[in-house]
Structure 1
């Protein structure tokens, strides 16, 4: 073997990347998987290779209204949320596709790879068999977040509330938290901040139909999630109910990339049962405060869990705000 051939063989045996051609649903769900795979690479000390998003089926309520989607939507997210690869893709390698990875499966692949003549790239769709068992693994994502370097807004804290609606109103209405939940959490946050003498403003981030539309199976972003056509109109959101929240602005139907940026840079984030705002908490600053209503992914260390009636640990919230303002 020549020295040139020896130098062409990577020193690493196994690397992980996102299997970007299997589940192409929403941008929040896919980016949570991407950052989850990066997180497990750090946890297991395995090189990470970045695979950008290839396709996003649900591109927001506007795309549903127009029954359209565009690659520019995907490209914008890929530019903003690019993660530097640890190693280059070699000329020759094996590929193993894994839908849902576990630590045991990763250990078995790593052991097998030691005897192979080429490195192995493991393309993973779902990292949650590892990251859900080790939610603290996501903490490393703050170091590469596009937003983590930004300072807190000490003059007036921004409280971002993610009210997940859009296609879920017809696809998964049982997963949505009611307006009353968000209102109760927000009113408690408002009371606590006023008691502490901290100026604040609320942003209500949601999607509201601008007109009555008919959603059909197989259309953009819906795929096969509904078995028959469903109608959706502006009145379904009942957005006027949020008027009781002090200093609040409804920021409906913003571009998805702008909305995710605002959620990630908020001083206080009230999440929904959604990967979109879960990702906002993952990518937020270390001292930001996340109020989290539990769903199938566990809270990160330091997040404050909320009950369905909107209550949460107020003493923990006060302490987090004091740390944020220090």
Structure 2
């Protein structure tokens, strides 16, 4: 598989993590504004406020988004990934541009920025002009199409189908779903008023253990109990202890910012999301077919070149 394609697959994984938005910043992260009335709201008031935010955000269905993900350099693909653009939920629609060191690290030919378009459960990644030089695998086309559902169905692997479906559900974890998960925190707190990017907000924070996060993550319902248990085991093995989530909500009961961090032995993985222009129309134009190559077909070619005509994912199941 070419370096360019491996880079795109890595970027797609980062995209899924950013859009899932499962966790938030630790206490060492930089904060905007001040907590002038911290602790003044009762637990019932906090729950009521965030329930209102959940309903308002769910109804908005779209927003402009600025995201940043910082990963320790000790982890594979470490560095900074930034994304900006528009995102819609119910149904999922995205038009985002990615930049950052995590996109280009170790690959002098990697594009400095990459556009990602998502519509009808299909992701399209703009591989840049360099991709057109790889005629054998990409047929001179620069847009890579990733239809995860179709890939899983064609493979005939029921477990893979459930995992792929779960991935699609994860992509659907919009800001409303992030608030829903935060509401399940047993120690949800109101930290007071704060001004974020010139906007008056109320600041909230909650913590979830790995077990609690797994239990509340609806996307994992696509997996069997044994598969969820194995995933939980692997997450704990990685050294992740739990998640802290911080949320800033404006006077219209809409999230202005959600901060995200998973603490690992290699350092913290931080995700920061800023939202604006709720309800803005998300218009997505998918690239034309003559500029698009299907990842499924490319993997088939790779399998045939490796002497396994029936393989679409390789001998070990990896893509």
- TM tier relative to shorter chain: under 0.3
TM-score normalised per structure 2: 0.24
Greater relative contact order structure (CA < 8 Å, 6+ sep): 2
Of Structure 1 and Structure 2, the greater strand share is in 2
TM-score normalised per structure 1: 0.23
Larger Rg: 1
